[in-house]
Amino acid sequence: MVDEAPARQLFCARTGDREVDAAAAAARRVVDALVRAGECDPGTAERLDEIADAIEKHAGSVVARIAAMWTGGFPRHDPVTGPENPIAPPLVLEAREGTTVGGEVTLGMAYQGPPGCVHGGVSALLLDHTLGVANGRAGQVGFTGELTVRYHRPAPLFEPLTVSARQVGVDGRKIRTEGSITTADGTVCVSARGLFITPQDR
């Protein structure tokens, strides 16, 4: 008898077989290679500009695109989990124990702050997003009012980090949510707590 892995319940858009997802993945390789090499062959910029020109022909109006981005399901474009966004590592968030959401991510040199370590602001970006997704799982969401990020020790590049968050309390329209970034052995590198405010019309 073969054990089957339990189905993962994702809390972000799934990278699919669309050309744009493959192009975003390849663009991430370009980003990483530029930062790792710090140099490139003459003509590289022209080749990238030609590709940008070709992609731009597919772009409609900004207003129509923004409307289309929120037609249901998880967004495909955000700078943390979005399979269409080369800035996103992407972090893949899934259901964890209780109401926690979390995912593993390994960050390369484009996300560097101190030598060999994740930029503190990148940790804040990942946590801000994950706290918001945790609110979505818990069923009450809001706008971020305040985010406090504590840096316990540098988070390393080039090794798996776990980003996770869960809603810890709701008091009327005020939501409190906490999260952390840990290394594989469970060491907490960065923790965050957020205060979110639910709009009055919800």
**Complex with a second copy: residue 145 or 160, whichever CB lies closer:** 145
Q: Is 64 in the site for a second copy (CB under 8 A)?
A: no
The answer to whether residues 182 and 189 touch, using CB atoms and an 8 Å cutoff, is yes
Residue 28 C-beta: closest distance to a second copy, Å = 9
Residue 10 C-beta: closest distance to a second copy, Å = 19
Site for a second copy in 161-200 (CB under 8 A): none
Site for a second copy in 128-147 (CB under 8 A): 128-129, 132, 143-147
Distance (Å, whole) CA 65 – CA 143 = 22
Write down the residue that tokens 């390994």 correspond to.
Answer: 106
* C-alpha 139, offset from chain centre: 20
Site for a second copy in 69-98 (CB under 8 A): 69-70, 76-80, 82, 84-87
The answer to whether residues 166 and 99 touch, using CB atoms and an 8 Å cutoff, is yes
Residue 180 C-beta: closest distance to a second copy, Å = 14
Distance (Å, whole) CA 86 – CA 92 = 14
Q: Is 156 in the site for a second copy (CB under 8 A)?
A: no
Q: Is 125 in the site for a second copy (CB under 8 A)?
A: yes
Classify residue 64 as exposed, middle or buried by CB count within 10 Å of its CB (0-12, 13-18, 19+). Answer: exposed
- Give the interface segment with a second copy, choosing from 4-12, 38-46, 96-104, 176-184 (CB under 8 A): 38-46
Q: Binding residues for a second copy, how many (CB under 8 A)? A: 84
**Complex with a second copy: residue 3 or 146, whichever CB lies closer:** 146
Q: Is 102 in the site for a second copy (CB under 8 A)?
A: no
Q: Which residue from 17, 39, 171, 185 is in contact with a second copy, where contact means CB under 8 A?
A: 39
Amino acid at 83: P
Q: How many CB atoms lie within 10 A of CB 142?
A: 19
Q: How many CB atoms lie within 10 A of CB 16?
A: 11
Distance (Å, whole) CA 44 – CA 52 = 12
Site for a second copy in 14-33 (CB under 8 A): 18-20, 22-27, 29-33
**Complex with a second copy: residue 147 or 168, whichever CB lies closer:** 147
Q: Is 35 in the site for a second copy (CB under 8 A)?
A: yes
Distance (Å, whole) CA 37 – CA 49 = 19
